Structure 1
Amino acid sequence: MSDAPAYGFDTLQIHAGAKPDPATGARQTPIYQTTGYVFRDADHAAALFNLQEVGFIYSRLTNPTVAVLQERLATLEGGVGAVCCSSGHAAQIMALFPLMAPGCNIVASTRLYGGTVTQFSQTIKRFGWSATFVDTDDLDAVAAAIDENTRAVFCESIANPGGYVTDVRALANVTDAAGIPLIVDNTTATPYLCNPIAQGATLVVHSTTKYLTGNGTVTGGAVIDSGKFDWSANDKFPSLSAPEPAYHGLKFHETFGALAYTFHGIAIGLRDLGMTMNPQAAHYTLMGVETLSLRMQRHCENAIAVASWLEQDDRVDYVTYAGLESSPYYARGQECYPKGTGGLFTFAVKGGYDSCVKLVDSLEIFSHVANLGDTRSLIIHSASTTHRQLTAEQQEAAGAGANVVRISIGIEDPADLIRDLDQALAKACG
C-alpha cells in the first residue's frame, strides 16, 4: 500500500502487504504452495544468493504468501521488517539468535509463559546461553541484573497466564541506558492493544498461533524489528556489525542499515535453523488478522464482564484481571493499554488443586485446551499442565499456583460463559 502510515489500523489489518494477484487478479492472497522459484538467468540467481537483490529463492527462506504476512505484521507493529517462523517458541530462539554467543545471557521477566521459562532456564543452556529471571516491575532489580555479558531483556506485554500488564516504556528506559535491546512478547496484547515499538521496544515477538490467527488452526511465530537499534554502537553484536564469513565478509548493519536484523533473520536464521512458516499457515493467519480489532474488542468486553462476576463470587479467592479496579495493575492498564487489557487472566478457586481439576472437568462451553487467543473460550489448570515443569516457587512467581486456573475468554455471549462457570463452580466447590 502506498503511504501506509496514513491509513488506520482497521484498514491496515486487511490491506497492508497485499494487492491483487498480478497473474490471475485473485483478491485474496494466494497460497503459493511451492518450494522453489525459477531464476531469470544465472546472474539473477547469483545476485539473490549474494544478497545483492531481493527476491524468492527457496521457501525455507522466503515465500510470497509468508512475505505478505511479514509486511502486514511489521506495519501493524510499526516496525521496518518481520520474519515469520514455525511457532512462537521458534520466534523466541530466532529473536535471540543474532544477539547471542556462548557465555552471553538475557534478563527475563519472572512472569512468563511456563514453556518460555523452561526454554530460557533449561534449553538455551545447550547453546551456552543463560537467563536471569527478575520481577520486571522492580526496575532497579532489572538494572542490577544486567552485566557486561547481557544481550537483551525479555518480557511479555500482557503476561501469560496472569494477565499482568508491563510498563514497556519504563523497561525501555533501563535497556536504553544499558545499550541493549528490549524484546517484548506481544502475543497476548496484539498490536491492537499495545504497540511496544512506540513505547521503546527494539524487537517484538509473537506466537501468531494465538490472537493473530484467532481460530486455533495453525501454529506460527513472528519477530518484528523496530529498525531503531544501533547494532554497531559497540562490539556486543558481531553477527550484525562484524564481517559475515558466509557472505564474503559482508557486514549486515553496514550494508542493510535499519533492515540489518531482518535480513540476518532470513539469510542466516531461516537458512541455518530452518524454523520456517509454511504458506498455508501464513494464509490462515492473514485471514485471522483481517478481523483482529473486532475480535479484540469483544475479547476485552467479555473478559471484564466475566472477571467482574467472578470477583463477586464467594467460591473464588481472587481474580487477576487488570481491567478490574481492584487490580494493582488497573492504573497502569488504563494508561498503557487504553483499548483494553486483553482476554486472558487467572482466578483462584477455593478448595485448591482438587477443586480446580473438578472445575475444569465440569465446564461445558469452555474447552480444556493448552492454547489461548481463540474465538472459543478456553481454560487450563496451569500448575498441572503448561507450568508443570516448574518448581512451586516458579509457579507462584509466574501466577500459576496450584489453586489457580487460567481462562482465555472468547467471543461468545458473556451471559452463557457466566452460566457455564456458575454450574461448574457449584460442582467443584459443592
Structure 2
Amino acid sequence: MSDDRQYGFDTLQVHAGARPDPATGARQVPIYQTTAYVFRDADHAAALFNLQEVGYIYSRLTNPTVAVLAERIATLEGGVGAVCCSSGHAAQIMALFPLMAPGRNVVASTRLYGGTITQFSQTIRRFGWSAKFVDFDDPDAVRAAIDDDTRAVFCEAVANPGGYVTDLDAITGVADAAGLPLIVDNTSATPYLVRPIEHGATLVVHSTTKYLTGNGTVTGGAVVDSGKFDWSASDKFPSLSAPEPAYHGMKFHETFGPLAYTFHGIAVGLRDLGMTMNPQAAHYTLMGIETLSLRMARHCENAVKVATWLETHPKVAAVTYAGLPSSPYAERAKRICPRGTGGLFTFALKGGYDACVKLVDSVNLFSHVANLGDTRSLIIHSASTTHRQLTEEQQVAAGAAPNVVRVSIGIEDADDLIADLDQALAGI
C-alpha cells in the first residue's frame, strides 16, 4: 500500500498492517505460533530490552500476528497505535493501568455493560482504585463528579445493552476542561459506525470478541491510543511523564512522544499484567475485520426492521433502538453515528420479568447466549444474567431493568427474525 494515499475504510479493513510474509510470500497473515524470537546478537537483544529498538522478544509482549491486528485496529480508529490483549475486560484494566494509583478514581457512565459496572464498582477496589457512576446524558453531573483524584472519564459510544448513544463531543469538552483523558468503549459501534477519536476521545477500548471478530470464535481486547493527549501537562500521570525505574529512569512521554501510551502498554502493561492475546485469536479477528463494513451495514439494516416491527407489537412496552425516529437519541445518532446505530438494543415487555424469561426460552432462530456482535442473532434477559449482580436500581440505570430483553441482531433474513420473535411472543 502506498503511504501517500488516503485509503477508504473498506480497503483499510482488508489491508492495513498486513504485508506479504517476507519468508514465504504468504498473502494472508500467518499465525506466528511461537513463544520467543532469536536475537541477531547480544547487542540486538540488549537494544530490544532497553526499548532502543522495536522488535520481537517474547510473545507475552509482542507477536507478529497480533502486531498486524493492533495496527489494523489503530488505523481504522484513527489512532497512532494499539495494544491487543486477551479480552475486553483485560483491555479496560490495561487502559486504566498507566493512569491510576491507590486513591485515584474514574468517572464512569451508568450506562455500561453489567460486567464493566461490576469490574469498576467491585474488582478495581482491590487496586485501591474507585469509580463514580454518573448519568452521561448530564454533562454537568459528569463535571461535578470530577475531583482532584480523578484520572479518567469512561463511557461507551453506543451503550450495551440499551443502544444509547453518548454525546461524545459534550463529554470530551468536560474531560478536556479537567485535563483528563476520555476513554471510550467502542465495542458496540465499531470504528465503521463511530470514530471516537474524531470526537475528541483520548483512548478507545474494544472487546474484539464482539463485532470486530464477528463470528463468536475467540475472545480478545484492544486499547487504541489517539496520540493526542499531553501526558506531561500535569503531574497526574507519572507512569508516563516521570522516570520509569524499570528502564533506568527513562520517561515514556519524553522518549516516545505521541506513542508513549502504546509503548507503556506493551513494555509495562503486557510485561507485568500478562493479559496476552494469542496469535490464533488475532488471526480469527483479522479475518473477521475484513468484512466488518459489510456486516455492520447488514446488522443496522436488520435492526431497523426488527425494532420497527417490535415497536408496534401489543405485548411490547418500549424499544430502545436509537435508529428509530421515535428514539430520544435519534438526532444525536445522526451526528455521532450517521451510518447507523448498530445491531444492539433492548425492548421491554408488558408482562414483566416472567414474560422475558418465557420469551428467551421460546425463540428458535435467536440463540440464548451471553454474547453480542455475532453474525447470528442473539437474545438474553440481562437482569437475570449479565446484570444479575446489580441492584434493581443499578439495572434500571444501566438499561437492563427486569422487564427488558436484549437482542443482538445478526445478518440473517430480517423476515425470519421477525417471524421467530412473533411466534415466541404469541406464547406469552
TM-score (norm 1): 0.99
Shift of 1:335: 1.8
Moved over 6 A (4+): none
Within 2, Cα distance between the matches of 1:58 and 1:186? 29
Shift of 1:4: 6.7
Within 2, Cα distance between the matches of 1:165 and 1:5? 32
Alignment of 1:84-233 (within 5 A): 84-233=84-233
The corresponding residue for 1:408 is 408
Are 2:55 and 1:22 aligned? no
Q: Could you list the per-position Cα deviations for residues 191-250 of structure 1 after superposition, in whole angstroms to 9, with x for gaps in the alignment? A: 000000011000000000000000000000000000000000000000000000000000
Structure 1 letter corresponding to 2:126: R
Structure 2 letter corresponding to 1:113: Y
Contact 1:380 1:405 in 2 (8 A): yes
Structure 2: 5+ residue runs without aligned partners?
Answer: none
Alignment of 1:10-409 (within 5 A): 10-409=10-409
Contact 1:4 1:12 in 2 (8 A): no
Shift of 1:336: 1.4
Number of aligned residue pairs: 428
Within 2, Cα distance between the matches of 1:67 and 1:336? 29
The corresponding residue for 1:426 is 426
Contact 1:243 1:251 in 2 (8 A): yes
Within 1, Cα distance between the matches of 2:370 and 2:72? 27
Shift of 1:169: 1.1
Q: Could you list the per-position Cα deviations for residues 49-84 of structure 1 after superposition, in whole angstroms to 9, with x for gaps in the alignment? A: 000000000000000000000000000000000000
Structure 1 letter corresponding to 2:72: R
Within 1, Cα distance between the matches of 2:188 and 2:32? 29
Within 2, Cα distance between the matches of 1:328 and 1:278? 41
Within 2, Cα distance between the matches of 1:10 and 1:94? 29
Structure 1: 5+ residue runs without aligned partners?
Answer: none
Could you say what secondary structure the match of 2:152 adopts? strand
Q: Could you list the per-position Cα deviations for residues 358-388 of structure 1 after superposition, in whole angstroms to 9, with x for gaps in the alignment? A: 1000000000000000000000000000000
330-339 vs 227-236, which deviates more? 330-339
Within 2, Cα distance between the matches of 1:335 and 1:55? 40
Within 1, Cα distance between the matches of 2:110 and 2:65? 36
Structure 2 letter corresponding to 1:307: A
Within 2, Cα distance between the matches of 1:258 and 1:279? 26
Structure 1 letter corresponding to 2:243: P
Shift of 1:424: 0.2
Shift of 1:416: 0.1
Within 2, Cα distance between the matches of 1:123 and 1:357? 29
Shift of 1:331: 0.7
Structure 2 letter corresponding to 1:117: I
Could you say what secondary structure the match of 2:153 adopts? strand
Shift of 1:2: 3.3
Shift of 1:334: 1.3
Structure 1 letter corresponding to 2:349: V
Q: Could you list the per-position Cα deviations for residues 82-129 of structure 1 after superposition, in whole angstroms to 9, with x for gaps in the alignment? A: 000000000000000000000000000000000000000000000000
Could you say what secondary structure the match of 1:347 adopts? strand
Shift of 1:261: 0.2
Within 2, Cα distance between the matches of 1:195 and 1:337? 8
Within 2, Cα distance between the matches of 1:405 and 1:11? 36
Could you say what secondary structure the match of 1:6 adopts? coil
Could you say what secondary structure the match of 2:412 adopts? coil
- Classify 1:4/1:149 alpha carbon distance in 2 versus 1 (closer, same or farther; 3 Å): farther
Could you say what secondary structure the match of 1:47 adopts? helix
Could you say what secondary structure the match of 1:236 adopts? coil
Could you say what secondary structure the match of 2:234 adopts? coil
Within 2, Cα distance between the matches of 1:4 and 1:291? 24
Could you say what secondary structure the match of 1:82 adopts? strand
Identity of aligned residues (%): 83
Contact 1:4 1:16 in 2 (8 A): no
Structure 2 letter corresponding to 1:201: A
Could you say what secondary structure the match of 1:38 adopts? coil
Within 2, Cα distance between the matches of 1:136 and 1:398? 11
Contact 1:168 1:196 in 2 (8 A): yes
Q: Could you list the per-position Cα deviations for residues 141-172 of structure 1 after superposition, in whole angstroms to 9, with x for gaps in the alignment? A: 00000001000000000000000001111110
CA RMSD of aligned residues (A): 0.6
Shift of 1:5: 5.9
Could you say what secondary structure the match of 2:427 adopts? helix
Within 1, Cα distance between the matches of 2:421 and 2:266? 45
Shift of 1:258: 0.3
Within 2, Cα distance between the matches of 1:167 and 1:284? 32
Within 1, Cα distance between the matches of 2:75 and 2:137? 29
Structure 2 letter corresponding to 1:76: L
Structure 2 letter corresponding to 1:416: D
TM-score (norm 2): 0.99
Within 2, Cα distance between the matches of 1:267 and 1:298? 39
